[in-house]
Amino acid sequence: MPVETTPRLRPRRLTEPVQGVVSAAPGAAGYALELTDPSAIRAVNALLDQGVEVVRLADGRAAVAGDAYAALAAAAGEEGLDVRALRAAPQGEPLEDLRVAISTALNEELTLTELGFDVTYLEDLAALSADEYDVLAYSQGAPWEDLEPAAQAAVTAFLAEGGGLVAWTRDGAAFNEGAGALDVGYAFADIDATPNGVGAVTHARRSPVVAGYPLADATFVFDPLWFPEVGPGVRVDERYGDGDFFFAGHWIGQEGAAGQPSVVSGDTAQGGRAVLFGTDPLFRDHPKGLYGQMAQALHWADGD
């Protein structure tokens, strides 16, 4: 009686890299995608790493020319990308392969790295330089008044040379105030328990920070802030909803935040750009739907 044997399978070497899934066929004049989800952010950063020209369209979307289709498909990865074909070659503000200096929590550093950003943690902000970095992302660290004079001078010079600032958390708002960057005042619920959860927000129609997000949306907060004092030229990108806007979690004192600005942006007193979040878009690697706001904030704050 013959003995059955299992055939030996010979591994096949792939001669070409596996292409990701892109929701548009090749042959268009260009392709656009919204930076509202992690896969799109990673793809754009991968393209920038390769030297592919990516521009920001007037509506906030990132776009590449038609001849970059193969690179776009390669950057899509296994998740796939929801892109839209363009009838004309894209025209807009070029995006840069950002060099981001950070003073953040470790988990926030990990999230930004996984999104494809080139981040460098600066324990001493005296090392901050516009020659080395494009944007400073700040959520925690030494308070402004505790910085050495050399560190304060380095931050001031960085902002004066066009360096961007993206800040969140109470520490971030205080840092912005100390540096005299964006002309806003901030407030928070002065209570023992730390508020956190989900609430309703509204978005500005023409904001480079929340482009692609619904006008009526939801956000996540942890120890939230709001910005009741907004100086001339400062844009309100997002507001907490009116009335009883907080619908999941716990937040004593939410009434004071109702209808107030929760995300603001604008030109700094030194001449660069800054974005301040009263929400927590990177909280413990959880609110992935908000990563797009952080990505757009970093690119817009670069301002080049």
- Tens of pLDDT, residues 230-264: 999 999 999 999 999 999 999 998 999 999 999 99
| Cβ atoms of residues 33 and 77 within 8 Å | no
Rounded Cα–Cα distance for residues 265 and 277 (Å): 9
Level-2 CATH architecture, domain 30-94: 2-Layer Sandwich (3.30)
Helix intervals (H) in 23-148:
38-49, 69-76, 106-114
End-to-end CA, the chain: 77
Quickly list DSSP for 138-161: ESSSS-GGGS-HHHHHHHHHHHHT
Q: How many other CB atoms are there within 10 angstroms of residue 242's CB atom?
A: 11
What pLDDT, on a 0 to 100 scale, did the predictor assign at position 6? Answer: 41
pTM of the model: 0.91
Region 112-138: mean pLDDT is 97
What pLDDT, on a 0 to 100 scale, did the predictor assign at position 81? Answer: 87
Q: How many other CB atoms are there within 10 angstroms of residue 223's CB atom?
A: 17
What pLDDT, on a 0 to 100 scale, did the predictor assign at position 156? Answer: 97
| Cβ atoms of residues 166 and 298 within 8 Å | yes
| Cβ atoms of residues 96 and 57 within 8 Å | no
Q: Is the CA virtual torsion 34, 77, 19, 52 positive or negative?
A: positive
Rounded Cα–Cα distance for residues 255 and 270 (Å): 34
Q: Side-chain half-sphere of 51: how many Cα atoms within 13 Å?
A: 0
What pLDDT, on a 0 to 100 scale, did the predictor assign at position 80? Answer: 79
What pLDDT, on a 0 to 100 scale, did the predictor assign at position 23? Answer: 86
| Cβ atoms of residues 232 and 302 within 8 Å | no
- Tens of pLDDT, residues 46-74: 999 999 999 999 899 999 999 999 999 99
Region 92-98: mean pLDDT is 95
Amino acid letter for position 201: V
Task: State which CATH number among 3.40.50.410, 3.40.50.880, 3.30.420.40, 3.40.50.2300 fits the domain covering 99-302.
Answer: 3.40.50.880
Residue % of the chain over a pLDDT of 70: 93
Rounded Cα–Cα distance for residues 286 and 299 (Å): 21
Phi, psi of 5 (to 5 degrees): -125, 150
Domain boundaries, the chain: 30-94, 99-302
